[in-house]
Amino acid sequence: MVMEDNESCGSKASDTSSPVQSRQQRQKLKVYNEVLRRLRESDKEEANRPGFDDELWTHFHRLPTRYALDVNVERAEDVLMHKRLLHLAHDPANRPAMEVRLVQVQSISDGSLDYSTLSNPLCEESAQSSPKHSSRQSIHPPPAFGSSPNLEALALEANKSQDQDGDNSVHANSKFSRPMHEITFSTEDKPKLLSKLTALLAEIGLNIQEAHAFSTVDGYSLDVFVVEGWPYEETEQLKVALEKEVLKIEKQSWLKQHSFSPTRDYEEMGSNGDQHYVAIPNDGTDVWEIDPTHLKFENKVASGSYGDLYKGTYCTQEVAIKILKPERINTDMQKEFAQEVFIMRKVRHKNVVQFIGACTKPPSLCIVTEFMSGGSVYDYLHKQKGVFKLPTLLKVAIDVSKGMNYLHQNNIIHRDLKAANLLMDENEVVKVADFGVARVKAQSGVMTAETGTYRWMAPEFFCIEGY
């Protein structure tokens, strides 16, 4: 039900402390009600879902009042798109969540354009009463936030150029410029984010004609750009180009932080006591420090709170590259990283993921292993909805048992065995992975409990017993 200003949800408009805040809240509420009405009248399935009105209000409430004042209420479905992108951005694997579409800017040469009604949806009633405020002739939708006089002038300039060239075949009605692209990003809000996004767009040859940047109260961003310069009207290739550029920038940022010299002998590093590297226990039997310039990143496979996993190559070998996020690195994280490297370099078995090397200079820490193209058993069962037939299930169990038996024979206790840490290769061979919280059994047989996934921990952990 659409809210009245004095209703319970409408009381959202009255729980502010100053007249200015109260007025802004009422403005938000008015736009919210109009968007909700339009969505329900358009029979959007999502809009008729129980609880949707509260979800929509939460969306408006977390964004600044400027968002409500600028958004084009005649394109109420754009608000759904913004809401969806912000939701996707909560998962690190989706960042930045993005949407690319073709938009069309109405030229000021068309006497029917009234910018004041485009930029302020609160004037929407007067806009509706005027036949001038209409985009019905446009082939493509208008930008989500109307359009500024600068954009309209650009549209007019483009039309004049077409007239001078005698080319009126692009559109039957010359009141509209050639289409532009609107690119919407949502991600975690960080310093210099806007400059990074504008640099990203410039790298693929896009000229920004208009930008709208919003920050939510819970630490996310919604950034909308109207651009020109992409030679094709279709959007899929542009989205792919943007995703590749995001990956490229992430890689460059990581390499820039990583001021490693070429591969060093690990024993030499240990004897020199180089404090710039994470201290890894040394037995002097191998060399595994990786020169990061030999790593080539392809695509992000997974992302979590503390790190990202990429598929890539190392000296032409297909590998998985696990990178710890620099902003998350602390003493405990470095200790866990050192423990994982120390253990992984000691093991070699067909049912244990093969360690290839590591980069150990903070803040850019990474572990490189063989790439397991089959993904995790967890993803296969839950995300791909796969099913193991009995013979395959027995094979999986045997593979896991062999891997764990090998670890135990070498006095290594995994402590986080679960489906997400069981990976499959292209031949469906299952291998044990992720030794971040594993331990080497001490001579006394006693170890202190530290961390892991509670659901899979040994009962001794909860008794605070050494194990």
Active site residues: 416
Closest by alpha carbon to 358, among 345, 371, 346? 345
Q: Which residues pair with 299 in a beta bridge?
A: 311
Beta-carbon contacts of residue 117 (< 8 Å; ≥ 6 apart): 123, 124, 126, 127, 130, 133
Q: Are strands 180-188 and 430-432 parallel, antiparallel or unpaired?
A: unpaired
Neighbours of 284 (CB within 10 A): 11
What DSSP designation does 330 have? -
Cβ 225 vs Cβ 236: under 8 Å = no
Give CA separation, 371 vs 64, 124, 424, 426, in Å.
44, 55, 9, 10
Eight-state DSSP code of residue 441: P
> How far is residue 280's CA from residue 278's CA, in Å, rounded to a whole number?
6
CA distance 426 to 114: 60
Greatest alpha-carbon span in the chain: 89
Residue 219: CB atoms within 10 A of its CB come to: 11
d(CA 265, CA 290): 10
C-alpha 27/C-alpha 122 separation (Å) is 8
* Structure tokens belonging to residue 367: 């572990």
Whole-angstrom Cα distance, residue 30 to residue 309? 44
Contacts of 227 (CB under 8 A, 6+ apart): 180, 181, 182, 183, 201, 206, 207, 208, 209
Sheet with strand 375-376: strands edge to edge: 375-376, 422-424, 430-432
Residue type, 365: L
Q: Cα 21–25–30 angle (5° rounding)?
A: 150
